[in-house]
Structure 1
Amino acid sequence: MYLAQKEVMKKHNAVAITINCLGGFYGGHIHAYPCLGFHELLNEGLIGACECDIRSTFTMTMVTALTNGRPGYISDPVIDTSANQIIYAHCVAANKPFGPDGPANPFEILTHSEDRQGAAVRSILPVGYMTTSLEFAPERKQILLHQAKSVGNSSEDRACRTKLAAEPVGDIEKLFGEWDRWGWHRVTYYGDLKEPIFALADALGWKVIEEA
């Protein structure tokens, strides 16, 4: 799958690829999940984006370029207001969150969580760092943004394989209420990217919406 992804990207002179992984697998159109291939692409400073999510693919393409190769992490949220934590959960993540030349963290290869088939990644991501989560909407000329400090990795077997726990900066109740503004996915990056994102939005004439 990884070699096929690289070949398609080379053919189209592309830095990003996204695949309808769940629909393709359940519909019998593909016979393996793309998670491991995406994992390798992300570690190389390229884009492998889940679930044919064009908006998140665009977000990753923009911000990975802005950060000189840092990988984004698409996720669905679990928001625990009692613990003041958000858990970013998905079955694909890089294990070089600071870019291709940065340090690597441990990871495990497990089955995909929804159906216990195929192969997916549990990346045990670094704790104690500020993260910036984003979603770009070019059709609206807007960017959603919130930040959180990484505090742990959940090993709970339920839900997606990689589960990064973080404490949001700001109002978690507001974040809970804002989350479904444009859909479920956000893209998380390691680092305090608030200032460069605001500068990028200003240059593009876009608006940044702070979620928390």
Structure 2
Amino acid sequence: MCESCQGGIPRRTFLAASGTAGTAAAFGGLIAAGESREASAVLPPREKQPARVAVVFLYPPAEVVLAGQNEDSWRVHQWFTWPGNQFQPERQEERFGAKIREIADRLGVVAEFAPKALYQEAAVAQYIEAVKASAPDAVLVVNFWNTFAAWSHRIAVEAAPAAIVYQPVGSNHQLPAEALRNTPGLFYIHAIENWAEIERGLRAVRAKKMLAQSRLLRVSGRAEEMTQTVESDLGTDVVTVPAQVFNDIFDAVPADEALVGEAMQWKNTAAEVRDVSDEYCVEAFRSHRAVREIMARYGADAVTIECLFLKHRKPCVSFALNNGDLIPCGCENQLDGTLTQMLGRWLWDRAGFMHNPEFDTSENRYFGAHCTCAVKLHGPEGPARPFLIRPFFHQMPKTAALDVQWPENEPVILAKYYSGKKRLCCWTGRALGSPTCPPVGGCATRVLVEIDRVQDVCEIYPGPHPILFCGTPGDARTLKAFARMYQLELLGNV
């Protein structure tokens, strides 16, 4: 393991995941000074291992073809089928190998390369058995040879639970194989040096691995005791605890000098404070400390709280800070939406804005509003958006919430995962900015979106609490790769 890694995960990725970098860390630790996390722990954090991907190249050496020994029907003619005799596969392997390593290292994925390219059926069979024994999370097959397409498919479906097959344009003759294009669990890339598409596949593998090693904490007013389940398709550990646990933690948080100082420091970063007293800025940071404490107590990587009627305990500000630091926090004990935030955190390294939908039917536009939007929409190292501090829109007292100003003409992705239904939705569009309140209503943060290529925007209604991410149509294809590799139905315009 490298010295800069934590539990097998690159330190930079680990820091973002654990919330020890960025805005949230600047405004308060996980628990109050002097308290012992170990003393109050109910569940330990889940161990995180990096995703492992087996990588293999397929092509015959030129001397094998010239000797008439290649294992295809063209060997009697010493024939170089597509890509031909000037493709230089050894040099291409060097280029592709270096790029795959660079992408994998940046993502914290372990790429395990076969020692040499395969070109014999017996070697393919041996490789499949070896990979099955090592149990990687996925296999990446790079096939440079037209007549080896069937072998690439065999490796993809037999060697690992999920697969990426890359075949350059010009190395396939006529239509690409139907089996490669349409086999569930196989992400087929037929392109010209499309490194971005390879990265999308590796990001999908990483996301699935990390979600299967994560814990989502649900805080519910209807729960009477702790329960623990596993989400059926993502493998995420889901722990539910009574709301009184959170209330008790909050009530025990003192408004000490350090906490008050953090609250005032945060207040001073706002573009404007509108009708919110210092008292409720301090209460917001008591809630922030309570959220961090309950997550630490249950070893949680994400949390969703039944928060609507918590009054002064509401975690709106805490959720906004944590989301910006890639610690997914979802409103109202929403399972689907929070899992979507967790998915986007690993697919794109970005915060997702959980919101409720509305529609401008005259202009055919989508509108979303809620109170927990991150200030840093592009991750902890991205730029911060201007924001106002204003009261929560729906219940007294006037607790603090963020009115984040979305950028104009920002490409966005509207997504939602439907737990237990093997379904995702994904729509691309562009944010038109944040309409003021009034004349519009809704909640503290509001964003108006033009969805791409829809005649009636109401027909895309994803249900309550979908997630809006900053991201291009190219980024959205990462979610498409995820759906493909993990056999989920994908609805939308991607």
Compute the TM-score of the two structures, normalised by the length of structure 2: 0.40
Instruction: Using CA pairs under 8 Å that are at least 6 residues apart, name the structure with larger relative contact order, 1 or 2.
Output: 1
Alignment of structure 1 residues 61-210 onto 2, 5 Å: 61-68=342-349, 70-116=350-396, 117-157=398-438, 158-173=441-456, 175-179=457-461, 183-192=463-472, 193-210=475-492
Kept in 2, the 8 Å contact 1:81–1:172? The answer is no
Residue 204 of structure 2 is matched in structure 1 by: none
Counting matched residue pairs gives 203
- Note the aligned Cα RMSD (angstroms): 1.7
Task: Tell me the CA shift for residue 172 of structure 1.
Answer: 4.5
Q: Residues 211 and 113 (structure 1 numbering): CA distance in 2 closer, same or farther, change over 3 Å?
A: farther
Kept in 2, the 8 Å contact 1:134–1:145? The answer is yes
Q: Displaced runs of 4+ in structure 1, greater than 4 A? A: none
Q: Aligned equivalents of 1:106 and 1:13: distance in 2? A: 32
Q: Aligned equivalents of 1:196 and 1:177: distance in 2? A: 23
Task: Tell me the CA shift for residue 178 of structure 1.
Answer: 3.8
Task: Tell me the CA shift for residue 31 of structure 1.
Answer: 3.4
Q: Aligned equivalents of 2:455 and 2:368: distance in 1? A: 14
Worse overlay, 112-121 or 160-169: 112-121
Task: Tell me the CA shift for residue 177 of structure 1.
Answer: 2.6
Q: Residues 79 and 211 (structure 1 numbering): CA distance in 2 closer, same or farther, change over 3 Å?
A: farther
Question: Equivalent pairs: percent with the same residue?
Answer: 25
Task: Mark the runs of 5 or more structure 2 residues left unpaired by the alignment.
Answer: 1-286
Are residues 1:57 and 2:338 paired?
A: yes
Q: Residues 196 and 211 (structure 1 numbering): CA distance in 2 closer, same or farther, change over 3 Å?
A: closer
Q: Aligned equivalents of 2:480 and 2:455: distance in 1? A: 21
Q: Aligned equivalents of 1:197 and 1:17: distance in 2? A: 22
Bigger fraction of residues in strand: 1
Output the amino acid matched with 1:45.
L
Q: Aligned equivalents of 2:319 and 2:488: distance in 1? A: 29
Compute the TM-score of the two structures, normalised by the length of structure 1: 0.90
Kept in 2, the 8 Å contact 1:147–1:168? The answer is yes
Kept in 2, the 8 Å contact 1:142–1:207? The answer is yes
Residue 21 of structure 1 is matched in structure 2 by: 307
Kept in 1, the 8 Å contact 2:359–2:367? The answer is yes
Q: Aligned equivalents of 1:138 and 1:51: distance in 2? A: 16
Deviations 1:25-46 (A, max 9, x none): 2xxxx63211000011011111
Task: Tell me the CA shift for residue 210 of structure 1.
Answer: 0.9
